[in-house]
Structure 1
């Protein structure tokens, strides 16, 4: 499965409906990565093929979405996207972790293996990713 282009409406239906819910509640069945990007963004272009490869490697275990920030401005505003790419990681437990920046493939794989495919137990409540 390739990466999936996500609209604001698709986000509300498949990820989280921020108009009807106050508290984050992930609606997906599999862990997910959501790439907030723009077509003109150089670092975004470097990340895109990596995410395509990962979507095939983790098919059936992980879903990778892409949100074009130029088109989906409402969604970008809701998440306060200020720099791109910004990656939203959603683990098997449904907990979101937002991280700006373009990462090499091994970093994505480390986050997927250590944070997304296994429940995170973090007594500090810190959702930042240690890179």
Structure 2
């Protein structure tokens, strides 16, 4: 299941970007994908069911979150979101990686294997 994040839940579950401006300090207990989206964005609407399927398939192995760029403008700006959808892939113990644009299921699974280190 996709979980919606706001500024406060993002700081608790992912990274307190206000406290740790220089160094990434992941708060999660498993790798995650964060979808920065907007309700009006057509590619975002196409990506949503794919992310739902990914969340179900990898349940217990990764978390999948969503951040609405319209209601969470400060949070989105702090990550330099300029185009949507944008996906932030957060592995355990490594720096996160951002991908802008629509990814299909095959590409997402490849990133989950290669970046998040989940088989």
C-alpha distance in 1 between matches for 2:39 and 2:96: 24
Could you say what secondary structure the match of 2:115 adopts? helix
Task: Return the TM-score normalized by structure 2.
Answer: 0.94
C-alpha distance in 1 between matches for 2:18 and 2:104: 34
Task: Return the TM-score normalized by structure 1.
Answer: 0.86
CA RMSD in angstroms comes to 1.0
Gaps of 5+ in 2: none
1:75-99 CA-to-partner distances (Å, cap 9, x unmatched) read: 0110111000000001133420011
Alignment size in residue pairs: 117
1:15-42 CA-to-partner distances (Å, cap 9, x unmatched) read: 1001111311111010000000000000
Gaps of 5+ in 1: 119-131
For 1:127, the equivalent position in structure 2 comes to: none
Summarize the alignment of residues 1-131 of structure 1 with structure 2, pairs less than 5 Å apart: 2-21=1-20, 22-117=22-117
C-alpha distance in 1 between matches for 2:68 and 2:9: 13
C-alpha distance in 2 between matches for 1:20 and 1:80: 17
